[in-house]
Structure 1
Amino acid sequence: MAQPHIAKVLVVGSVNGHLADFFAKVKKLDARYGPFSILLVVGNLFANSDDHAEEVISLLKNEITVSVMTYAVVGDRPLPRRVRERASLKSGEICNNLVILSGQGVLQTSEGVKIAYLGGRYISQCLAETSNSSIENSANAAEPTDRVAVDPENSVSVDKGNSTAGNNEEKGTAGSEISKEEKGSAASESINEGKDDTISDSPPDDDESTHAHFDKLAVADLISQVAAENEKTFQKAIAQPSIDILLTFDWPYGAAATSPHTASDLSPPSTQFASNKISHLCAAIMPRYHFAAGEESFYERQPWKYSDRISIGRGSSAVPHFTRFIGLGAVNASRNEKQRWFYAMNVNPLRNISQGTSAPNELPANCTTNPLFRFGKIARVLDTKSLPRVLSAIDSSGGGNEASLSNRGGQGKRPPPPLNYICHGCNQPGHWISDCPVKGQNKRQRSDSSPPSGYVCHKCKKQGHWRSDCPADSSTSSGHASDALSKCWFCLANPDVDQNLMAAIGEEAYVAMAKGALVAGGSAKDGFHGHFSPIPGGGHVLIVPIVHTDSLRRACEGSDNAGADQRLSAEIDRWTEAVSALFAEYDCAPLIFETSRCLPHVHTTLQMIPIPNAKAESVKPALEDLCKADGLALAADYPPAQHDGYFALRDPASGNDLFLHMPKGSKSFNLELGRKLAARILGVPAREHWRQCVVSEDKEAAERDRFIAAFSKHDFTR
């Protein structure tokens, strides 16, 4: 078997127009640490003014030597006019060994390294940018640091015979091939007379933005390209991750916010231009490396891994797939060694690994969970079958407008279910489960002990009992428990978990918007108005343990796994304090409660619902009234037995915890008691049942984004 090609790659941040000095530095780096197969520029190669116009002219005339085959992504400013014109004529090549990667696309090198790229800043950020946000470049050039960052997992020697720079088999923009003839003509082409003195950064005729930008359709287009690459590259029946390197100018939102430590021992920088559209892109295509330069700060995050089902390699040698994110500083911005502007690595292409011609890299010991999980709508490798769902998640149609692909879940607009669809609520065809006539009714809320005629249990397919009373269930059966865990609504291991509601994630717990929230976002100046809350996004949230947990009591009191319980309890306290601080800004108090049946297959949650501060004193009396109606009494502590069910609520007036013990064997306890209490206090009894309050996914996403924007200042993971 032939030795697979290993590519030695150098990636740099923004150059900002210092072309002669920069390429001289690259030549020194190549002599010292190379030879490099390719050089990737992920930031602004050119300046935003005419300060370096003469260097642009020299570059176009091949008077500046480009010693390594270079591909440059467009940063956040448009290319100089003449560079843009040259690139459009020569498939992106503007001089010897330098190709501009405009727009978005997938590039494959002669070694088999696949590079996805998307230049520019997200368009909504550009529109909000003020006209005086130009970048000032330092006049003094900084010498490169003596330490080159070589990826430890790929520290293999490079076969110099295979490290050819400017190989004519490499591809240019959007995969168009660059021929030898084009390179020769580019080298010999002269600049027109009378245009050598100045080069404008602005287009001559059109009214183009002062920022280079991308929109949601560009993200959708690149994701679609990668879906096709994942299917065709490895000649296998199923899709495999194919993108070795992702290059974007914008940072992905959430990548730096959820890592307590960095490989570079640097605190995460403030991400002023982080984009959730880039987060969607990265979460969907799952690159091995992701580089960005928009913050002009060096930051090397701990790698994150994906589901164990998403692996690289074959047979017993397969290992889970993972991603490394690196932010790069500007070339001449700082002499601080930690603000490094370049990163070198040996890349063993994913194609070699998936085809069995090379062994996979071992999973790094410092891998974390995926910080971008809430942006991905699938828990498998992207392919054309999953493409519509992924595109709908970024609100991109791929057509002539940016409308959503679908209006799934819209009230009154949802199409009827297919003929073979069976409602899981009543086991009858003809309607979605959200429209089920017995929705919201469970065995603890039904007044009749037996189901109506014709009802068939979804579990055992027999008549005569409700699904919740099915004798086939057994909480002591490991098989049934395992099946229940795999379908848990709140476990991140479940590929069908509703990630559209995720608002923040920590090490032990995450914050999610409530499905069918009791309150919706309203106007801060109007305060509470019906079910409209002044909190952006409404504020009805869940705090959920990441690890499957059936009771927060055990986390508070300790168990065999005391260390993990203490960490979970401490982080939940931090989340409640953070959300409470947001509520306080709008003169609201949190109604915090947990309903735990202490069943191993039921994932517990802590709910927080905002109520006006003026109504905090009414919480305990209202709860006592509800208890009297159900024949229950408040208690001062948890039930005596640790495995008994309970309802726990923190009185917002006194700060004391109030408890209700679930009677053993009773079917009368209302599992929606906390929500019913909040609905009574707010005067919205019609919203007691969450199924009556479900909105479309688009509305959910809009409310979530409003909440995230307001909550960001209190989110301790950012």
Structure 2
Amino acid sequence: MPLTSGNRIVLGDINGQLQPVFTKLSNLHAKNSFAFAIVTGNLFSEDNDAVSDLLANKIAVPLPTYFTVGTTPLPARIIEKIEKDEEICPNLHFLGKRSTTKTSEGIKIVTLGGQLDDKIVGLSKEQHLPYHTVSDAKALHGSHTADILLTTTWPSLIRTGSKVPLPDGITDVEGQDHIADLSATLKPRYHFSVSPEFFFEREPFFHKPTPDAPEFRPLTRFISLAAHGNPSKQKALYAFSLQASVDPAAPLPPGATASPFYSRPNTKKRPTLDADSYSRYGGHDRNGHRHKRGNGGFRGERRAPGPDQCFFCLSNPTLATHLISSIGDDAYLTIAKGPLTTSDTYSSSGVEFPAHALIVPLTHSATIAQMPDEDGSREKTFAEMNRFKEALQSMISKGSANKLGAVTYEISKGNGVHTHWQFVPMPDETIRKGLVEAAFRVEAENHSYPAFEVRDPGVGQNDGDFFRAWIWTPPSEDNSEGSTKCITMPFDSQIRFNLQFGRVVLAKLLGLEGRVKWQDCAQTEDEEKKDIESFKAAFKEFDFTL
């Protein structure tokens, strides 16, 4: 369904004043016919009578209303409803603390609720507690764009270049760099936040044009709402409209300024996702993504999936984040779901956990070569992925006393979805005898694929589609540093390439043909958590992200 024009309304902290606020909203809705409402900040205060009345449908929510986590935890009974995937009450939808949502009318809302807890490493596990991490913010960079961005905290530098004064008695508001990076990356049309004591609306600001659209400067409006019932009677409601499309030739509004985030480092423009490429992407499911129907609700119809549904994007709210080991600046490391090797495969060599790992770029792109490269991010991503690969090799080398080498392989396919590398340990003897390289070449011949070449295409900028495998031999008496041989098979669109090719080759070499399909190797979440804890303990010494 296309994006439609119309009025929307956003509300500041409600703090449990459900009956009076929704009564007021109902009166406003009767006069203005809002498409939906958004609560940025705290909808609830505690698990009290107001929650009971809401759950008993004694409080009417007059129109589709979305909410997230603010500065207080959600009530236990609300969490229970959400975790059971049950309706809280008609018209009330939980966006999640870290989420990307598209409404039924096509509006994309990106949410990062809660306040920063810098003591937590990696992604936060709780969706209902009022804190988030820098990694949570980084994960949302993969959403590329947003019509609306909701954050509990302000971005740093937001008042730079602004002439809008703060109210008397308010000297400044502490903003945060990771929120500024997120806003600069997504370039939302509206960025809403909260400031309980006052209302603040900055002048609209424009972002730099891109090579793809040199005449278009995306515009963002930052608005922070006061809490309902605040003693100064500052504005706690804000009505706004979104046009069906953005006119790139439209003049900038009076008073607009340049983006205050120009000086922010590491902001990246993300590529869009090709819907057709996802339909060709095999070997992974998308279970767990919720669709809701109804006016203003989640879309029930099939649509082009975005990073919130991608199997490898950290912005996917259903991603198995408990499998993630480390998150860097440009890539992250996770152990494989349904791993080829198990905790028993190499236990005799001293590696008592599945060391089958994935190295995944944060940028959502079918290949490394297709990543935007305005700030050198292509080479930076490739370098960090190699750094993860080398760290894994060091871990395996030490853990096995050099009895194990490894194979890292990649499918670089222009109509893929999200490129990644798979790392699998291999017995040192198998590698030194040349059996790994021979196995890849024989399997290619069996499929009538092109022959392997001994070369490394790097980021693959001019190489088209290819399969690449790095075969690493661990250190020995003759070679104290070990060695790597890269073999690459180029192929074109006429080749129906088997996406399980690498796993098939290694499964045959290891006598694990029954584990070719990851779906056949599923583990319980408790088993996965046990494996990741063992993996993290072994990798900690080599983890450069800590």
Normalising by the residue count of structure 1, what TM-score does the alignment of the two structures yield? 0.37
The TM-score with structure 2 as length reference comes to 0.47
Higher strand share: 2
Which structure would you say has the larger Rg?
Answer: 1
